[in-house]
A = this chain, B = another copy of it.
Amino acid sequence: MLAPLTPVAVLGASGYTGGELVRLLLGHPSAELVYLGANESAGKTLGEVHPYLAGATGLTLESLDPAAAAGRAEVAFCSLPHGASAVLAPALLDAGVRVVDLAGDFRLPADAYPPWYGFDHPASAWLEKAVYGLPELFAAQIAAADLVANPGCYPTVAALGLAPLVGVELIGPGSILVDGKTGLSGAGKSPTDATIYAATEESVRPYRFPKHQHTPEIERALELATGVLARVSFVPHLVPAVRGVLITSYAPLSDGATTESLTACLAAAYAEKPFVRVQPPGGMVDTKRTRGSNLIELQAVADLRTGTAIVAGALDNLVKGAAGQAIQNFNLMTGVDETAGLPTTAVYP
């Protein structure tokens, strides 16, 4: 028997993540797309905003209107700029719509917003009810949630790689260093001097450190998962690619830990998780093997000479790092198979 269709809305459909949400939802077996909202692109057809989606649906983009969305949808995906969801999502929630928010607006404690995002949070009551939507770690809470804060791309990789090891103390207390590399789709669709092809090809660049807003989110995700408050220093880098995030984390290695014990810990933690591929010792993660899929690859190595645990992870930032993970959360929230509508194989090469 087929699952009944759940009517869903996408608020913020004009960016790369919005487009990926629409693409995946159009192929989802138990979701029916009933509302597409946008700001500047309101009134345009989907094909005008995303030419590669021309003809995929008859919907046109409407202006952002929570009431209109709430009148049609049971679940809403908010893929809006940081700060906009915090204003808009409460209206959806108050109208009884369950929300998966893809911005950073419901991921941190209220007091973290001024220093890291530059605004005072306008909806702290809802913020307290939000569930951090990392499905491999918090499935039960997500299933019951009205408001899911879909994680950032970097925190998804860092937390899934580190949390099981921190949890069993294979990684000792102390500071964790997180080095991130991302393709350009993470920088969004608006053209800038920094994102044009001529300035990007053959360019490897760190950016916005040590102030990147994913820094406290990595700390928060680890604390939520393990109760341990680690201090994270995070440096993201732009590399010449479109999709793909690779994280290399460095942490103090506990006595007696080995590459084998680190690997076994990760393998056990994710044995039943359909999207996590833990590499065996000697196997190296590769963003390209995840592209277009909801997969994440993880690898852990003990550098015994220096007492360092090195944990690397790779995913497609628009799928497992954004739209795909949001749909994975939707699947948990609506009780359908966790993999429904989500590719488990990369488009390769």
Contacts and interface: CB of A to CB of B under 8 A. Distances in A.
Interface of A: 16, 19, 23, 26-27, 50-56, 175, 177, 179, 181, 183-185, 187, 189, 191-193, 195-207, 209-210, 231-233, 235, 237, 239-244, 246, 248, 250, 277, 284-289, 291-292, 299, 301, 303, 305-308, 310, 312, 314, 344-349
Given A204-B244, A233-B310, A237-B248, 7 more contacts: A181-B237, A183-B198, A191-B191, A196-B196, A202-B244, A206-B299, A210-B303
A206 B179 CA distance: 12
A16 B196 CA distance: 13
Given A185-B198, A201-B197, A206 B284 contact: yes
Contact of A196 (B52, B179, B197, B202): B197
A197 B201 CA distance: 8
Given A197-B242, A233-B308, A286-B204, A56 B344 contact: yes
Nearest to A231: B306
A277 B193 CA distance: 22
Nearest to A56: B345
Given A210-B305, A233-B303, A179 B52 contact: no
Contacts of A209: 301, 303, 310
Nearest 9 A/B pairs, CB to CB: A191-B191, A203-B288, A210-B303, A198-B349, A179-B179, A52-B348, A184-B197, A197-B200, A204-B246
